[in-house]
């Protein structure tokens, strides 16, 4: 039976915009924001809208107090055949998470409570992860008889190294917020009551730079991580940035000793 033939449970992805910030909220708190095919489709649609829009920063959250996201809804893939799992479920998640990872805008995952399996993989696809001290992160798939399927083995290894990735995946070690920060898995690790302040501060810093320069720089860093030569790409990126009105504004603001007003032009 195809995953699309099963009656979808409640749950969606809410997209909210406040000024230069687009916020995507996994909204299925009764099921700890477990991801369904329909939620992946809604997330993909929201990401494509963000990619086509003018938002400078994208924030990803999970609804409710208990979890960022517990991963894929097991009930939705347990009955799939191996071909359906490969063709529909795994491919779907990779397509959506790759789209998130490739957004030109910087992305911030705000992780609280449980982030397990596909939920952690979703956070890994973001540029920044603000993880509260009481959060619990894991990739427990081998305990179910399967493996991480939405980019976790690659993105986790890139962040924490091979040995610690094996500790999380093979030994199923659950990682708390402070450990995640120490291992490089979390960008910041505030107490739960200080999380919103940390998010606001990071978003303000990200949106305060020239949006064109920020987005070029993000692509340069991602390309460098894949082995692209900086001497070539930085020249091209710098050439593009030099043709923008934002550079003129930035230089003028520097000489006038004031904060720049970037318009993304």
On the question of pLDDT at 2 being above 60, the answer is: no
Cα–Cα distance for residue pair 106/69, rounded to 1 Å: 20
Six token digits for residue 36: 């369904």
Q: What is the pLDDT of residues 163-204, one digit of tens each?
A: 999 999 999 999 999 999 999 999 999 999 999 999 999 999
> Looking at the domain that runs over 3-207, which CATH code has it been given?
3.90.226.10
Distances (CA, A) of 126 to 57, 143, 175: 11, 26, 18
C-alpha gyration radius of the chain: 19
CA 91 to mean position of chain CA atoms: 18
For residue 32, the cross-strand partners are: none
Mean per-residue pLDDT, 219-230: 86
For the stretch 101-116, pLDDT in tens is 999 999 999 999 999 9
Active site residues: 121, 141
Average pLDDT, the chain: 89
DSSP 79: T
23-57 burial, b for 16+ CB within 10 Å, e for fewer?
A: bbbbbbeebbbbbbbbbbbbbbebbeebeeeebbb
The arithmetic mean of pLDDT across residues 10-29, rounded, is 92
CA-to-CA dists, residue 47 to 13, 99, 193, 239, angstroms = 10, 7, 29, 28
Q: Which residues contact 137 (CB under 8 A, 6 or more apart)?
A: 111, 115, 116, 120, 123, 131, 168, 174, 175, 176, 180, 185
The pLDDT of residue 12 is above 70: yes
Domain range annotation of the chain: 3-207, 209-256
Contact 187, 130 (CB under 8 A): yes
Phi-psi region of 184 (alpha: psi -120 to 50; beta: other; left: phi over 0): left
């Amino acid at each position: 039976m195809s995953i699309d033939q099963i009656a979808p449970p409640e749950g969606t992805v809410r997209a909210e915009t406040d000024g230069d910030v687009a916020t995507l909220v996994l909204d299925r708190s009764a099921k700890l924001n477990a991801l369904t095919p329909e939620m992946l489709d809604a997330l993909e649609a929201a990401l494509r809208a963000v990619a086509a829009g003018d938002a400078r920063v994208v924030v990803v959250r999970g609804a409710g107090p208990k979890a960022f996201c517990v991963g894929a809804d097991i009930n939705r893939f347990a009955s799939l055949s191996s071909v359906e799992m490969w063709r529909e479920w795994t491919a779907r998640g990779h397509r959506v998470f790759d789209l998130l990872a490739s957004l030109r805008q910087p992305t911030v995952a705000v992780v609280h409570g449980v982030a397990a399996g596909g939920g952690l993989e979703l956070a890994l696809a973001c540029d920044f992860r603000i993880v509260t001290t009481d959060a619990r992160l894991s990739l427990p798939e081998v305990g179910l008889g399967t493996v991480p399927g939405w980019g976790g083995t690659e993105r986790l290894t890139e962040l924490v190294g091979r040995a610690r990735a094996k500790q999380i995946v093979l030994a199923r070690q659950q990682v708390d917020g402070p450990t995640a920060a120490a291992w490089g898995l979390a960008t910041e690790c505030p107490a739960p009551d200080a999380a919103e302040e940390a998010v606001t501060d990071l978003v303000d810093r990200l949106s305060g730079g020239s949006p064109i320069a920020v987005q070029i720089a993000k692509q340069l860093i991602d390309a460098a991580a894949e082995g692209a030569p900086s001497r070539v790409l930085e020249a091209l990126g710098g050439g593009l940035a030099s043709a923008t009105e934002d550079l003129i504004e930035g230089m003028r603001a520097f000489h006038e000793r004031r904060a720049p007003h970037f318009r993304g032009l």
